[in-house]
Amino acid sequence: MARLADLVVSAVLLAGLYATMAYGLGLIYGVLRVVNLAHGGVIMAGAYVGWVLFDRFGVDPYLAIPVVLVLGFALGVAMYRVLIRRLPRGASGGPASLLLLFGVWLVLRNIAYLLFTGNDRSIRTAYSSSSLAIAGTHVPVTRLIVLAIGLVIAVGLHLLLHRTLVGRAIRAAAQNADSCTLVGIDVERIYRLTFGIGTALAGVAGVLLATVFSFNPASGSSELLKSFVVVVLGGLGSMSGVVLAALVVAAAEVFAVLILPSYLTSAVGFLLLVLVLVLRPGGLFGHRVLA
């Protein structure tokens, strides 16, 4: 039974991370209808920024989060202004935006490789190996902090979207961009903001990731896949949807370790993805996922 408690706790903690990863992807998709294929790359970039601040300047990774937020936001706005904005809207822009963002991912990957080489990195602080005894199991402190920060971010995002003017404009744009123009909302500005927030969130997810797992320039694909599964499964309408979906994904992964040989666990993300996409006929945000 203690074993089960271990797994459950692991799943909950992991879910916090996965939810944080998914928000950025989901927000951008929900508002701009663009799948940010650079999402994994931004997560990786965030991880490196956190690592550099820690390794070179001794800044605690969790304290570096505001910095990463700002940098991530700036990156997102720049990406939107310079690149995304120029693409044709709608169906014809679809493949183009995919490939464009994919190109951005490749560039990010190469920059990371040039600056930091391909070696695995992770952020190991003084308390990285400490753990607390909770519910009869030992829980690594870092994972707890990640969960806590994840909750803070979730609450903050909810407040932003539901209690601020900007947030309401974002939600309106997600529903119907044309109507927004009619009532005087500057849709371009909203898109810029949304992209910035989405990238900022991805960057923060990267820092959190770096404190718990190791990473290298090639990281990002499984993060992208998992974020995608969470978004598809949970939908954007409710935060709780994302949180629930993150729990499902995390639980699947944690329990998969029991049945599958270790090297296959990374394939779990993919298997989940296929399962979710194939079995969820309801579609996503009212759009048809399936043909």
Partner 1 sequence: MTVPPLIPRGMARVFLAVCVVLAVLPALDLSLYTHNLLTRAYILIAAALAWNWMGGFVGQISFGHAAMFGVGGFVAARGMLDLHLPPQLCWLGGAVAAGVFALGAHPLLRLRGPYFSIATIGVGEASRVVFTYWEKFTGGATGLSLPIDADFQYQLYWWTLGVAAVVAAASVVIRRSSFGLRLLAIKADVEAAADVGISATLYQDLIFMLSGAVVGLCGGLSASYASFIEPSDTFGFERSIAFVLMAVIGGTGTALGPALGAAVFVLVDTSLLASYPELHLGLYGVLLINIMLFEPLGLLGLGQRVLRLARGPKPAPRRA
Positions that interact with partner 1 (CB under 8 A): 35, 37, 83, 86-87, 92, 94-100, 102-111, 113-114, 218, 221-222, 224-225, 228, 232, 263-264, 266-267, 269-271, 273-274, 277-278, 288-291
Task: Give the shortest CB-212-to-partner 1 separation in angstroms.
Answer: 21
For the stretch 234-243, contacts whose Cβ atoms lie closer than 8 Å and that sit 24 or more positions apart, written own/partner, are: 234/22, 234/26, 235/284, 235/285, 236/26, 236/27, 236/29, 236/30, 236/174, 236/285, 237/285, 239/154, 239/157, 239/158, 242/19, 242/22, 242/23, 242/26, 243/15, 243/19, 243/154
Structure tokens, 42: 């931004």
Q: Which is nearer to partner 1, 193 or 232 (CB)?
A: 232
- Calpha distance 280→110 (Å, rounded): 36
When the beta carbons of 190 and 284 are compared against partner 1, the nearer one is 284
DSSP state of 132: E
Instruction: Supply the minimum distance, in Å, between the C-beta of residue 57 and partner 1.
Output: 26
CB of 164 to partner 1, least distance (A): 29
How many angstroms separate the CA atoms of 43 and 208, rounded?
9
Q: Which is nearer to partner 1, 139 or 229 (CB)?
A: 229
Q: Which CB, 27 or 232, lies closer to partner 1?
A: 232
Residue 94 dihedral angles phi and psi, to the nearest 5°: -50, -65
Three-state SS for 212?
A: helix
CB 97 to partner 1: min, Å: 8
Query: Which residue lies nearer to partner 1 by CB, 109 or 143?
Result: 109
Between 4 and 218, whose beta carbon lies closer to partner 1? 218
Residues facing residue 121 across a β-bridge: 215
Residue the block writes with tokens 């991370």: 17
Q: How far is the CB of 247 from partner 1 (least distance, A)?
A: 21
Closest distance of CB 265 from partner 1, Å: 9
